Structure 1
Amino acid sequence: MTKPYSMDLRERAMARLEAGETSYEVAATLKVAVSSVIKWAARKRRLGSVAPGKMGGHRPYRISGGHRAFVLSEVERDSHVTLHQLTAALAVRGLHVHPASVGRFLHREHKSFKKTILPAEQLRPKLARRRAQWIRYQTRIDPTRLVFLDETWVKTNMAPLRGWGARGERLVAHAPYGHWKTMTFIAALRHDRVEAPWVLNGPINGEAFRLYVETQLIKTLKPGDIVVLDNLGSHKGAAVRDIVRAAGARLFFLPPYSPDLNPIEQLFAKLKHFMRRAARRSAEAVHNAIAATLNAVTPLECRNYIENAGYKST
């Protein structure tokens, strides 16, 4: 931080102003900025002195001590509490701050406003036990043997959810409301790649899924693979299990209501984000956009998806 100009220089500048010189003349003579002369004059009129104010130094945070403990306890009690509610609660305690100050305080305390929604059914005792058992064995399996399989929908009316616009004005976009096509995208996620991508016109059913396994997935399976699926009814055909077993692989179903245990859901979230940005309006264009997205998926990304879901050999 630079040092303030000396008092001698400031007083000489004020003396010249009082003698009738203009701020520009004083600045030119003393070789300082015109703005400095103007600010010194204003400071003298306001405070009666041109002495510089305090520079630098630590400004103590207003939300500290008991107020800090109070805010943290409120956040712990109700994770959905808003900045305005916290501001109002602090005002009742006698501390008046701006909501932005509360937000900065929470960031300093390593808090961020976020939430992941999981099915409430996971809290059922029976299902909770099944999930705990699954999670207990997650790290005992070689991730290179795992093949995570699932499907998701893609549509020809997908569009970006948000965009930049002028404050106070609506940002309007257009997407088909009356007619569009819905397709089902199926794929398998391994530790280093995405395999057997397939797009089906319309929803999935048991026969379509069997056809996918028989014509697409089977080409990628090898002895020792472990195929992991969710509990969708169309996945549970006996023919599907027979096809997988014939390839020397094994088939396991996730506990019900457990999308968080299937890492391919993270890939699908990325896919839908890019599909909204692409905003394709024909089936062929949707297919091409899916292919472009999958081509950009790296082995490291696949590994991160799987490890983030808890499948990491220890």
Structure 2
Amino acid sequence: MSTALSLDLRVRVLKAVAEGASHRAAAARFGVSAASVSRWRALERTQGDPRPGPLGGDRRSARVEAQGALIRQLIEATPDVTTEELRATLAERGHGFGYGTLQRFFRRHGLTRKKRPAMRPNRTAPTS
């Protein structure tokens, strides 16, 4: 996983730009891309310093986890509900989730969506 470049490097690059160097010249001098220099300048303008934001992590599952009790309640009320039917019911209640989002929720919580229990085969004969 990549890490953000240090704040010290960002400040030195922006200082070079402030002293008159072009984005490309400052980027070449410090071994970073010109696009990074542009992004750092934009960060400095908007938030006052070029400090990096948070990297990685799960930022989206909190939405579906907040509705976890409702999802479990709907599954308990109708155990044979399909994922698409569950999505439609949740959407009617104002909670729009994608198919994959619900599948990941089921996997995280150990919920299986199998309709019937596994059955033994009727005949067990050699196939070759």
When the two structures are superposed, what TM-score results if normalisation uses the length of structure 1? 0.32
Percent of residue pairs bearing the same amino acid type? 24
Greater percentage in strand: 1
In the alignment, structure 1 residue 17 sits paired with structure 2 residue 17:
yes
Aligned residue number for residue 63 of structure 1: 64
Q: Does the C-alpha gap of structure 1 residues 107 and 10 become closer, same or farther in structure 2, counting only changes over 3 Å? A: closer
2:124 aligns with 143
More helix as a share of residues? 2
CA RMSD of aligned residues (A): 3.3
Instruction: Say yes or no: does 1:99 pair with 2:97.
Output: yes
Mark the structure with the bigger radius of gyration. 1
1:103 Cα deviation after fit: 4.1
Cα distance in 1 for partners of 2:25, 2:15 equals 12
Deviation at 1:62, TM superposition (A): 2.1
**Residue 5 (structure 1) shift:** 1.5
**Structure 1: which 5+ runs fail to align?**
92-96, 117-134, 145-190, 193-298, 300-314
The answer as to whether partners of 2:64 and 2:101 remain within 8 angstroms in 1 is: no
The residue aligned with 2:26 is 26
Which residue among 89, 101, 106 is the counterpart of 1:109?
106
Task: State the Cα deviation string for residues 71-102 of structure 1 (Å, max 9, x = none).
Answer: 1221333314241321332x3xxxxx5421x6
Partners of 2:24 and 2:34 within 8 A in 1: yes
| Alignment of structure 1 residues 213-252 onto 2, 5 Å | none
Q: How many residues in Structure 1 have an aligned counterpart in Structure 2?
A: 118
Unpaired stretches in structure 2, ≥5 consecutive residues: none
Give the distance between the partners of 1:4 and 1:77, measured in 2 at CA: 47
TM-score by length of 2: 0.69
For 2:38 and 2:17, locate their aligned partners in 1 and report how far apart those are by CA, in whole Å: 10
Task: Please state how far the C-alpha of 1:34 moved relative to its aligned partner.
Answer: 1.4
| Aligned pairs for 1:1-314 within 5 A | 1-59=1-59, 61-64=62-65, 67-78=67-78, 79-80=81-82, 81-89=85-93, 91=94, 97-100=95-98, 103-110=100-107, 143-144=124-125, 191-192=126-127, 299=128
Letter in 1 for 2:54: K
Corresponding letter in the other structure for 1:143? T
Distance in 2 of aligned mates of 1:18 and 1:47: 17
Alpha-carbon shift at residue 114 of structure 1 (Å):
8.0
Cα-to-partner distance string for 1:102-131 (whole Å, 9 max, x where unaligned)? 641334314677879xxxxxxxxxxxxxxx
Q: Deviations over 1:236-294 (max 9, x none)?
A: xxxxxxxxxxxxxxxxxxxxxxxxxxxxxxxxxxxxxxxxxxxxxxxxxxxxxxxxxxx
How far 1:39 moved relative to its partner?
Answer: 1.1
Question: Which AA in structure 1 matches 2:62?
Answer: Y
